Homo-oligomer: A and B are copies of this chain.
């Protein structure tokens, strides 16, 4: 049940290969970044402008497995989820907030394009899953290396909990 609606719909391209890890209870969690872009003509200069927005997307459960196996850097994807902001501690002890798009039960994921538009006939990733301890900074953040948020601690993840 819900009082209210909290819905995000994205169509964009995946910024890097998905990162999948597994919770103690066996549930999969997959992280990706999705880029969406707008372009428009600047009224002043008359030049074509473009802006790219990066979205952190976190899949849970069955969709986490599918996303981890089939999405690749460059994949075009439709995603439907909900906004969630979590708090984490920076190395300086200060609170930081990161907003993510959560895709679980009630969400949706659709690969777009009739084939792998970015990688030809490369097979999907083998379905095995060594939990990566050191998650690299996301592609969007690599310019000047701001401190990345840690992977969320979803150890208490449970089918009861709707996230």
B-contacting residues of A (Cβ < 8 Å)?
Answer: 1-13, 35-44, 49, 51, 53-55, 76, 78, 80, 82-85, 90, 92, 94-99, 101, 106, 108, 110, 112-115, 117-118, 146-147, 158-163
Q: Is the CB of A43 within 8 A of B160?
A: yes
Q: How far is the CB of A100 from the nearest CB of chain B, in Å?
A: 9
Q: Is the CB of B4 within 8 A of A37?
A: yes
Name the residue in A51, A112, A118, A158 with the highest tally of chain B Cβ atoms < 10 Å from its Cβ: A112
Contacts of A78 in B (CB 8 A): 5, 11, 78
Partner of A43, one of B76, B85, B112, B158: B158
A76-B114, A159-B43 are contacts. A53–B5 as well, Cβ < 8 Å?
A: no
Contacts of A161 in B (CB 8 A): 40, 42, 49
Contacts of A8 in B (CB 8 A): 7-9, 83
